[in-house]
Chains A and B, each alone.
Chain A
Amino acid sequence: MKSVILRTTSVTLPPLLVLFALFLLLHGHDEPGGGFVAGLVAGAALAFLALGVDVPTARQSLRARPEALMAAGLLLAALSGTVGLVTGAPFLRGVWIAPGGLAIGTPIVFDVGVFFVVLGATTKLVFDLAERR
């Protein structure tokens, strides 16, 4: 028997939390935030869904399998480091472009990779524990 608070918030809060997570991710380079926190917040959102509704719904919201997310994140982070190798710079050297004054570079891609790894790890732990008999 789940409490009313939990049932209500677990439907309304997760979308907001995910949006906030994306905000943290993209603003991390200039404001407090970054890939780690963003991943944790998004993971918390999905944990909310898993506890408040049920795990299959949460899994469906995530769409991808958590293990695949972890792997994709690691790959993305590693690949972002190889961009600099083309010009002879060492592995993980940041490469930046500035279209119209906006600074976009490989560290941001790295951060996205971190985000996916953290999201995948936390959802994996939460879902597996929640599903256990």
Chain B
Amino acid sequence: MLLAIVACFAFAIAAPALHRVLGRWTGKVLAIVPLALAIGFAFASGTMASVVEERRAWLPALDVAFAFRLDGLSRLFALLVTSVGAIVLVYGGGYLEGRAHVGRFYAFVLAFMASMLGVVLADDLLLLYAAWELTSVCSFLMIGFDHQKEEARYTARQALLVTVLGGLALLAGVLLLAQVSGTTRISELLARGDVVRSSPLYAPILALILLGALTKSAQAPFHFWLPAAMTAPTPVSAYLHAATMVKAGIFLLARLSPVLSGTAAFTIVVTAVGAATAVVGAVLSVVQTDLKRLLAYSTVSALGLMTLLIGIGSETSLFALALFVIAHALYKGALFLVAGMVDHETGARDVGALSGLRRAMPLTFAIAAAAGLSMAALPPTAGLVAKETLIEAVLHRPSIVVSVLAASVSFVVVAWLTAARPFLGAPRDTPRAPTEPSWAMTVGPALLSASSLAIGLAPEATIGALARAAASESAARAISTRPALFHGLGAPLAVTVVSALLGAAVARLHPRLVRLRARGGALAALGPTRGYALGLKALDRLAHVQTRVLQNGKLRAYLGVVIVSTVALAGVTVVRRLDLIEPHLGMVMPRVYEAGLALLVLFAAVVAVQARSRIASITALGVVGYSIALVFQLFGAPDLAMTQFTVETLTVILFVLALRRLPPLARRSLRGRRLRDFAIALPFGALMTVLVLASWHVQLDEPVSRRYLDAAVPEGHGRNVVNVILVDFRALDTLGEITVLAVAAVGAWALLAPTPRRARVSSARVSSARVSSARLSSERTA
């Protein structure tokens, strides 16, 4: 499985080059890769429920591995990803023919396919997360495919920000989950559900993982990025935003269902969000006029239904989920691709402008009709099989039935508007004269629609085993229901009939609804899209303010911030653990010369601060430095003392060089400012004193100096332990230090770089003017 994913990535990288060679045939050739994978996933390992595991070491120290697991649930999704991917590759070749950067399209599709396979096949939580984020990145690249257009860039970034925000939450949730359960291996995790559910961290884990899954699957209130992402080319929309990527959140929740579900929190939250999204999507979809937007909003609604099913969590609902995932991918994918075909041939995408295409595009009409029937849950399609099971699963809760009904009605409406309206009626003028599109664009959707019909006619034979296997994994119990087209004369059938009739009625009212929406445009200002835009603007403003305050260019300010933070953080700890430090804060009686040295340092420090001329300050600082060097010498550290002497000398020289061009200290800083600086400096000095006094006595472990002293001569061949430590035992640290030193010198060089020619000439002019005016004034006074 790792091989399969790596192969996909390899083909992705090779795709642009292949496109240059193969041209129009690239898509068809590349589609062989996912087709082969699909066949492998379906047939290579026996039954649909069989489990194949694979593991390769990655980070053994953290117990993270490239672990993969092909079971019923992952097989279902893997088959969807690869088969729809193959279709999209072939279709894309035809749809994008003649456009620029088509090679890039193939690369992105294959890269995405590999990432998505990583998500569904992963058996390690961190591997799943990494693949998850990769899918977000690939989606960003694909939505922004027409990157010349500002709208494409905006929506791509929007999708990325929303899904990556969820991804961050997912990472946090995954890490907490690994910590609570003690493993990152998903297959082991599933057996420890009780541990996780009873842990006090269950609520945050659930919240974080839900945030990740719900942003990816466009649940309310994060649903706004999905319809906006319709700026992507149609094959991309069909692949990512109908069939695969948005289902990643659903997959995650289904995969982790044995661990996370079963509690009231899970059931209530997930069901509520799913139901709300289903209704929101339904309402927003029936007022659209653009083909792709109609389909996008109905996808939101469908995803809401799937979330709802996971929330309920019964055997029936999880079985219904499996069926619905398959049915939805088939019909939504087909409808999106049909919308693309219509757009490609006629140049129009608005429902109001399209009519009577059945004469010019009969095959397309047939494909659309079959897919539309499936979407409206009419016999004999996969959609009906799934819908009946779905309704059976929600019958026990009337409130949920209402939201399901709303969604079903909207599906009928959208199906009518996208699959029937454009083809029926009298032909109308369109920007281009329509003909049947090329076979590359037709064969894929035809296969999808045909599958919908085939599944509808023989549900058990086609997907029975697969759906059962997937649902069993998700429920952690064996499920033995059989999918059927006809569930008997009961409530499910009633709901289906009612929704069909209501849907027809609403479809009739569609033009009136569109006019209503145009008038109620003000309401859109309150939606989450607006919230997102406001959030971004606020973030931008915060960044500006914060940078202006903290990075204001004054060295004094930076030093102040550093010192205050250090004092605050370390000082708080010192005060809180005073009990640890107190017994050690004693002082021995100093000897005469030690006391004299200390007084010299104090005196020099005071002079340095109080001096009226810069040179006096620098000299006093030099005295302080030399005194410290003497301290080192007195306490038996000759290397340190030598280094301190030379560093102090050089520091004084550098100070003199830097400050010699400045006029004498004519004006000292304001008294208030000096008091403030004193208030910052005093606690810092006190903190350092306390720490030095305390650290002398704190003994955490056996002192390492003993070991170094013993090893210096035999291993280090040197009697100067300090030097041996620096260049031998701890040579890596020293290497780092000299690198930093070199970088600092280069940094100083950049700061001291000579001013550009223009500035130098004008400053020369200014200084000469100043000199001449000074001479004039001195001549006048003389």
A-side residues, CB < 8 A to B, are 24, 28-37, 40-41, 43-44, 47, 51, 66-67, 70-71, 73-74, 77-78, 81, 91-92, 94, 96, 103, 105, 107-108, 110-111, 113-114, 117-118, 120-122, 124-126, 128-130, 132-133
The docked-state distance in angstroms from the alpha carbon of A29 to that of B643 is: 15
Q: Which one of A37, A43, A92, A108 has the greatest number of beta carbons of chain B within 10 Å?
A: A37
B588-617, CB < 8 A from A: none
Chain B residue numbers with a CB within 8 Å of A96 are 717
The docked-state distance in angstroms from the alpha carbon of A24 to that of B516 is: 90
Chain A residue numbers with a CB within 8 Å of B724 are 29, 107
Q: Is the CB of A118 within 8 A of B738?
A: yes
> Which 8 residue pairs are nearest across A and B when measured between Cβ atoms?
A29-B718, A40-B646, A32-B638, A121-B745, A129-B657, A34-B723, A117-B738, A103-B717
Q: Is the CB of B646 within 8 A of A44?
A: yes
Q: Is the CB of A121 within 8 A of B749?
A: no
Known: A67-B749, A92-B731. 8 other contacts (CB 8 A): A29-B718, A32-B642, A36-B643, A37-B646, A73-B738, A110-B735, A121-B744, A124-B745
Chain A residue numbers with a CB within 8 Å of B7 are none
CB distance from B638 to the nearest CB of A (A): 4
Is B734 an interface position by the 8 A CB rule? yes
Chain B residue at minimum C-beta to C-beta distance from A30: B719
The docked-state distance in angstroms from the alpha carbon of A107 to that of B729 is: 9
The docked-state distance in angstroms from the alpha carbon of A34 to that of B642 is: 10
Given A47-B650, A92-B732, A92-B735: A111 and B658 within 8 A (CB)?
no
The docked-state distance in angstroms from the alpha carbon of A47 to that of B716 is: 34
Q: Is the CB of B731 within 8 A of A107?
A: yes
Given A34-B720, A107-B727: A121 and B647 within 8 A (CB)?
no
Q: Is the CB of A77 within 8 A of B738?
A: yes
Q: Is the CB of B752 within 8 A of A77?
A: no
Q: Is the CB of B722 within 8 A of A34?
A: yes
Number of interface residues of B (CB under 8 A): 40
Is B726 an interface position by the 8 A CB rule? yes
Chain B residue numbers with a CB within 8 Å of A130 are 657
What are 12 A-B pairs with beta-carbon distances under 8 A? A32-B638, A34-B722, A37-B639, A47-B653, A77-B735, A105-B717, A107-B727, A114-B738, A121-B745, A125-B745, A126-B653, A128-B748
Query: Mostly helix, strand, loop or mixed at chain A's interface?
Result: helix
Query: Residue-by-residue, is B697-722 near A (CB-CB < 8 Å gives 1, otherwise 0)?
Result: 00000000000000000011111101
The docked-state distance in angstroms from the alpha carbon of A95 to that of B57 is: 34
Chain B residue numbers with a CB within 8 Å of A74 are 738-739, 742
Total A-B pairs, Cβ < 8 A? 136
Q: Is the CB of B650 within 8 A of A121?
A: no
Is B363 an interface position by the 8 A CB rule? no
The docked-state distance in angstroms from the alpha carbon of A37 to that of B727 is: 13
Chain B residue numbers with a CB within 8 Å of A122 are 650
Q: Is the CB of B643 within 8 A of A132?
A: no
Q: Is the CB of B738 within 8 A of A113?
A: yes
CB distance from A99 to the nearest CB of B (A): 13
Q: Is the CB of A44 within 8 A of B650?
A: yes
Q: Is the CB of B727 within 8 A of A40?
A: no
Chain A residue at minimum C-beta to C-beta distance from B741: A121
Is B692 an interface position by the 8 A CB rule? no
Chain B residue numbers with a CB within 8 Å of A37 are 639, 642-643, 646
Q: Is the CB of A78 within 8 A of B735?
A: yes
Within 8 Å by CB of B745, from A32, A36, A70, lies A70
